Structure 1
Amino acid sequence: MTYRVVIAATEPGFPDYRREREVLEPIGASIEAHWCHTEAEVIAWCKDADAILTNHAPFTATVIEQLRQCKVIVRYGIGYDNIDTAAAARQGIPVVNVPDYGIQEVADHTMAMMLGAVRRIPRMDRNVRSGDWAIGSLGSIPGLGGKTLGLAGFGNIAREVARRAQGFHLEVIAYDPYVGQETFEAMGVHAVDFETLLARSDLLSLHMPLMEATKRLFGRRTLSQMKRTAVIVNTSRGGVIDTDDLVQALLDGTIAGAALDVFEEEPLKPDHPLLTMEQCLLSPHAAWYSESSVDRLQHYAALEVGRVLSGERAKHVVNGV
């Protein structure tokens, strides 16, 4: 039996698809990659696919209803908010993500963003390059020791951030209603409710999936409950922050700063106010990236397709099929 596997891509994220071919060609799969930015493009290329790998292509209910023989949709990466998982479940199609390919990279990047924002490393770099060695021009820089890091979500990445943060003598608190008390205690992390997390955090790092309950959760109301000296860090999903409210909070001093790797709309428009804000540190949705994480992502995603095409259940099904 032969299988048609389609990679529905929206950006040139990988140098090649060697890993996918190594895993899938031995079981009779042919692999083809196509640009799929619109529903029509996804339907045109994927309607007869046996399996689909994708990054950000729009797999809406309209698209999924046209998939005639699809056995699995695998999302390269952790977030899958571009896929209508309920529609896929109605069609009997498992939706699968790859949550374990870049845990260390994202945790490292989170700490780097945190340190860069608090220590004002980008500004120091610019000052030195322009000949300004005056410490006074940097403004007030707090010490990290004894400060409180709050983690909104306590999954695998957040736990790795906690381990790193404890090495900097930060007190770590976390909110996650889906994690048992014993997990927090085993790591020396204090479990708190959401309001306490907001009120106590000097640094607030977001590690939540994007879903209806978390969409724009961090907006005017929640940001106003934080310390005026607080810095918010987001390496999870851009949509959990209301960007307009964050901009206003930074402008009026509701919070002191932000370090963002992800955004509601990517890329940012050239005139976006975040691009000119000194108190905001930005990176281009790259927290996940390293040479080894790219290789793992492609390999693990292909293995999931291979499992399903071989009659097994995928490891990381997110829609219960």
Structure 2
Amino acid sequence: MYRVVLSAFSMIDPETYREAFAELVDDPVTVEVAELGSTERLIEAASDADAVVTDIDTPVTAEALDRLDLTVVARAAVGVDNVDVAAADARDVTVTRVPDYCTDEVATHSVSLFLACLRSLKRYDDDVADGGWSWEVGRPVHRVGDSTVGLLSFGPIARRAADRFAGFDADLIAHDPFVADETMAERGVEAVGFDALFERADHVAVYAPLTDATRGIVDADALAKLDSHSVLVNVGRGPVVDADALLDALEADAITAAGLDVLAAEPPEDDPLVGRDDTVITPHAAWYSEEARDDLNWSVAADVAAALVGETPSGRVDPDADWL
């Protein structure tokens, strides 16, 4: 018999796991749901467990792995920045993720945030709700087709977003040291260096995962290269953007607006970026559609089942991958 612990996280649907394990694993699988959220809770909940399906808020550290006897740690998301992948590999624990369950959703959400900021939708809506009816409240608004949009990272989500941005006739540039220039060129995107991205782009959309190399990479120096009409969108990870530097840029009108689906701390507590008329913030919801949630849970369950029976899961994270 196998024991699988699921985080009591709203993205995770226990019934899908029970159905999948009944279909994919010959031996009985016990599925339990636990409130995680910390390393200590993880260690307590996963004692004697074979697998854990974890959330974004639970650090899976070397200490936790030492005190548990896991076969697989499954991350119910694209990113694995809260999992010590190297420590897991050293202890023969497989780490999995689901890199493609919400590609369309996040790409679409990033463009939605961009358009909401560029078209001053929040200011217009607030003004109408207060009894106003003036197009001037949103000034200045500029054409998308006259702009250059810079993409920070060029993985599957950014590539899908590039297809959408291209439909607005925007010029596209991107920076990603792990993607060949030719791959970008195939989508009509010009590869540029990091500094050039911010120097040349009118607007920047961030898709980068959180790693040691990307933490805080969008800092005051990078933001200073943008113009006062610029919009910054972040659907990657909150800490990729220096929150203090972004606030300073908005306060100084050095950029016009920011659309954020991710923040440095989630949920936010007294975050000065929240509630501004020049920010549009969504609650890490870019991944969401009913279809994406279904795909996520079935894919994670299938990966856990594969690991339990000694097979290689399709979503296995390569501990030697460059992007880690």
TM-score by length of 2: 0.94
**Equivalent residue for 2:265?**
265
- Preserved CA contact (<8 Å) 1:150 1:204: yes
Q: How far apart are the structure 2 equivalents of 1:265 and 1:4? A: 32
1:316 Cα deviation after fit: 2.4
Q: How far apart are the structure 2 equivalents of 1:177 and 1:39? A: 33
- Preserved CA contact (<8 Å) 2:94 2:307: no
The secondary structure found in structure 2 opposite 1:122 is helix
**Equivalent residue for 1:88?**
88
Question: Which blocks of at least 5 consecutive residues in structure 1 are unaligned?
Answer: none
1:129 Cα deviation after fit: 2.3
- Preserved CA contact (<8 Å) 1:5 1:52: yes
1:319 Cα deviation after fit: 4.2
The answer as to 2:302 corresponding to 1:303 is yes
The answer as to 2:276 corresponding to 1:277 is yes
Give the letter aligned to residue 276 of structure 1: G
Deviations 1:85-107 (A, max 9, x none): 12111111111111111000001
1:71 Cα deviation after fit: 0.9
- Preserved CA contact (<8 Å) 1:98 1:300: yes
Deviations 1:119-177 (A, max 9, x none): 01122122222221112222211111121110000000000100000101111111111
Matches within 5 A, 1:138-287: 138-269=138-269, 271-287=270-286
**Equivalent residue for 2:29?**
29
**Equivalent residue for 1:8?**
7
**Equivalent residue for 2:315?**
316
- Preserved CA contact (<8 Å) 1:6 1:53: yes
Q: Which moved more, 1:307-316 or 1:210-219?
A: 307-316
Q: How far apart are the structure 1 equivalents of 2:66 and 2:139? A: 56
**Equivalent residue for 2:68?**
67
Give the letter aligned to residue 65 of structure 2: I
Q: How far apart are the structure 1 equivalents of 2:141 and 2:92? A: 54
Question: How many residue pairs align between the two structures?
Answer: 316
Deviations 1:199-243 (A, max 9, x none): 111110011110100001111122112223211100111110111
1:40 Cα deviation after fit: 1.9
The answer as to 2:47 corresponding to 1:50 is no
Q: How far apart are the structure 2 equivalents of 1:184 and 1:38? A: 39
Question: Which blocks of at least 5 consecutive residues in structure 2 are unaligned?
Answer: none
- Preserved CA contact (<8 Å) 2:20 2:298: yes
Q: Percent identity?
A: 36
The secondary structure found in structure 2 opposite 1:151 is strand
TM-score by length of 1: 0.95
The secondary structure found in structure 2 opposite 1:149 is strand
Q: How far apart are the structure 2 equivalents of 1:138 and 1:184? A: 34
Q: Which moved more, 1:84-93 or 1:163-172?
A: 84-93
Give the letter aligned to residue 62 of structure 1: E
- Preserved CA contact (<8 Å) 1:166 1:172: yes
Give the letter aligned to residue 292 of structure 1: E
The secondary structure found in structure 1 opposite 2:179 is coil
4+ residue runs of structure 1 moved beyond 4 angstroms?
A: none
Deviations 1:183-204 (A, max 9, x none): 1121111111111101111110
- Preserved CA contact (<8 Å) 1:94 1:319: no
The secondary structure found in structure 2 opposite 1:161 is helix
**Equivalent residue for 1:288?**
287
1:18 Cα deviation after fit: 1.6
The answer as to 2:15 corresponding to 1:18 is yes
Deviations 1:56-78 (A, max 9, x none): 2221121111112x111110001
The secondary structure found in structure 2 opposite 1:274 is coil
- Preserved CA contact (<8 Å) 1:233 1:259: yes
Q: How far apart are the structure 2 equivalents of 1:171 and 1:294? A: 33
- Preserved CA contact (<8 Å) 1:94 1:320: no
Deviations 1:273-305 (A, max 9, x none): 112321111111100011111111101100111
